[in-house]
A and B are shown apart, each in its own frame.
Chain A
Amino acid sequence: MTKKQKKVLYRIIIAAVLLLAVILCEKLTGWSEWIFRILVLVPYFVIGYDVLNKAVHGILNRQVFDENFLMAVATVGAMLLGETTEGVAVMLFYQIGELFQGIAVGKSRRSITALMDIRPDYANIEAEDGSLEEVDPDDVAVGTVIVVQPGEKVPIDGVVVEGSSTLDTAALTGESLPREVSVGDEVISGCVNSTGLLRIRTTKEFGESTVSKILDLVENSSMKKAKAETFIAKFARVYTPAVCYSALALAVIPPVIIGLSGQGWNFSTWIFRALTFLVISCPCALVISIPLSFFGGIGGASRYGILVKGSNYLEALADAAIIAFDKTGTLTKGVFEVTSTAPVSGITSEELIDLAALAEYYSSHPAARSLKEASRETPDPSRISQEGEIAGHGVWAVIDGRKVLAGNAGLMEQEGVVYQKNEAPGTIIYVSRGGEFLGSIVISDVLKENAAEAIRLMREAGIRKTVMLTGDAQKAAAAAAEATGVDAYYAELLPADKVSRIEELLAEKKDKETLCFAGDGINDAPVLARADIGIAMGALGSDAAIEAADIVLMDDDIAKIPLAVRIARKCLRIVRENVVFAIGIKILCLILSAFGIANMWWAVFADVGVMVLAVLNAMRAMHI
């Protein structure tokens, strides 16, 4: 509880005790009505002086529909009509409700912000005598060497100059994937150093570091308001005056009609009902619960390493119907590996790979690296007596006195080797020794283990269509499309073609639906911008991706996309619930009090009770 809230709590207790005391004395001593009415003003002022004060301010500033003004009118009116106790009690319960709301909202805010709390509090700088000094990360100049002890957060981006350790990226990505670092490696702020002591030379200022950029993004996310929020703000602007005018109408029209029809003039009943209207007129429950639900959703998502740049994007994501992907790096790992071999009889696939790796020993081609990685042993270059590269075709090398060729089909044809064609998607390397064909090796980009599962989850989350867009060859694209189960794919696209494909998809979707594009954010910027929602993957350490996209996945786990969609849908469901619930209860109470069924007590519940329930409901958006 804050100081302000504690003060209100004491006032509530004192006022409640005083009110009870006055009522008790009246019953026991039988005071006259007038003494009671005057004495009861004491608890009324104790509990309501600030509301009355603000009400006066409101009138002076011509803020007629100020909630304090309305509460003051309602309670003073009730007391003037002879409902003294009720007037005081309503003020008392109004304050209790406000206090409750303040505490509930404060708590919610703190628990959501705690999810996003990756801000490092200090950086350690080593003094000359070897002792560590804690300084504000903002004051650390670029190029300073900072010390990060085990268990501490890396405060600023930099390069390791001494020590080695394992970094935990959980705070950034939502998954504690350990990352090994040693001298010369770049480290990203926001990671937690888990094992060894590190000395890091900073390469950026704190304000430019990853952690600051992420914090800035998340903290500003509630500034980009969703349509639902704008709607509520507009509604609130109309709601309060509308209720107030109907209160006025209720106080005048029915008693006049009844009076004219000759059934007696009874203004006080109708005025009292009108005052009840005023208590219900505050739109706070609506105005608070909607942004809080979005904030909860954004906070919950950030715990999984999904950064949403604004409530509006969360809202759009909930209507996602079509998701388009880039292939390389999004559905696939983006690294090339040996995926299959086809050796001729008499040679094993290991021998084939080893031989090809040795032949490619001096080559810097990416395929050579994949071969070396797949090879069982480190190739021994002393076995090579002569070697060379045949541009655009492959390599040749004399190994153990025999000429080995490794390269594409063109190389085999050129050298007159009789070979067996391999039709698998990917890069094919044919190997021959002494003019005799030994077999072929397929190198291709491998799919992420969970790519097919992620596509299935997307369908389950309600995505109507999944599309793969790639610059890769038709054959490789077809294989990836089949393995992952996407609904459609377009291959051999240039970056500009991707934009036009996205435009076709945009034209195809229905009005309310939205289209997402997920890519690595580096060379997909125009496509990310064109789609309704751009999702950048693997953004950890990539400023460009963080800037370009609307939703940023800190790691490159594609299964986070269906998760984000589910979070967005749940959040929007809660928003709708709150809108219907809060408006519904208020209208119900208005109707009931117009007919004299609901009194001021109900009205207080309609005002504060609904708000507390709406806030509690909003908090569910945090959890999935």
Chain B
Amino acid sequence: MKKTYNIEVDCANCAQKMEDATKTVAGVADASVSYVTQKMKVTFADGADPEAVMKDVLKACKKVESDCEIEL
């Protein structure tokens, strides 16, 4: 399952770091973050609960970029 989220991030490198961080979260099969459109596309692993996974994603992203936002 794929879902797209609106995000808020200030620099392009930070977006890249968020993408890398998101990919390491359990339950995420693939992720793509676009700085230019301020969007994050997440492909969830089979059987994963998107809501729970996204909470971990937000936590992981906050770790690498403290003032990023993900609209859940």
Contact = CB atoms under 8 A, between A and B. Distances in A.
A333 interface: no
B66 to A, nearest CB: 5
A223 B35 contact: no
A109 B13 contact: no
B63 A220 contact: no
B32 to A, nearest CB: 4
B39 to A, nearest CB: 7
B10 interface: yes
A426 B4 CA distance: 51
A236 B32 contact: no
B16 A287 contact: yes
A112 B11 CA distance: 18
Contact of B10 (A102, A112, A233): A102
A16 interface: no
B37 A219 contact: yes
Contacts of A54: 66-67
Nearest to A295: B36
Do most interface residues of chain A lie in helix, strand or loop, or is the interface mixed? helix
Interface residues of B, number: 21
A220 to B, nearest CB: 7
Contacts of B39: 219-220, 223
A102 B19 CA distance: 20
A279 B63 CA distance: 22
A225 interface: yes
Of the listed residues B15, B32, B66, the one surrounded by the most CB atoms of chain A closer than 10 A to its CB is B66
Given A220-B4, A295-B37, A57 B66 contact: yes
A284 B11 contact: yes
Q: How large is the interface on A (under 10, 10 to 19, 20 to 34, 35 or more residues)?
A: 20 to 34
Given A220-B41, A236-B16, A283-B13, A291 B32 contact: no
A54 B63 CA distance: 11
Interface in A234-279: 236-237
Contacts of B19: 233
B48 interface: no
A428 interface: no
B16 to A, nearest CB: 5
A222 interface: yes
Given A102-B10, A219-B39, A223-B41, A63 B32 contact: no
A282 B14 CA distance: 11
A222 B34 contact: yes
Contacts, number: 62
B63 A61 contact: yes
Given A220-B4, A295-B37, A287 B13 contact: yes
Interface string A182-216: 00000000000000000000000000000000000
A105 B37 CA distance: 11
A288 interface: yes
Given A220-B41, A283-B13, A284-B11, A291 B36 contact: yes
Interface in A305-348: none
Contacts of B13: 67, 236, 282-284, 287-288
Contacts of B32: 223-225
Contact of B12 (A61, A224, A284): A284
Contacts of B64: 61, 63, 66
A238 to B, nearest CB: 13
A287 B4 contact: no
Contacts of B37: 109, 113, 219, 222, 295
A57 B39 CA distance: 24
A454 interface: no
A499 to B, nearest CB: 29
A287 B12 contact: yes
B63 A291 contact: no
A292 interface: yes
A98 B37 CA distance: 19
Interface of B: 4, 10-13, 15-16, 19-20, 32, 34-39, 41, 63-64, 66-67
**Which 7 A-B pairs have CB atoms at the shortest separation, nearest pair first?**
A288-B12, A287-B12, A295-B36, A222-B34, A223-B32, A287-B13, A61-B63
Interface of A: 54, 57, 61, 63, 66-67, 98, 101-102, 105, 109, 112-113, 219-220, 222-225, 233, 236-237, 282-284, 287-288, 291-292, 295
18 contacts: A54-B66, A61-B64, A63-B63, A63-B64, A66-B64, A98-B11, A105-B36, A109-B37, A112-B36, A222-B37, A223-B41, A233-B19, A284-B12, A284-B13, A287-B12, A287-B13, A287-B15, A287-B35
Given A287-B11, A291-B12, 15 more contacts: A54-B67, A67-B13, A102-B10, A105-B36, A109-B36, A112-B36, A219-B39, A220-B4, A220-B39, A223-B34, A236-B13, A284-B12, A287-B12, A291-B36, A295-B36
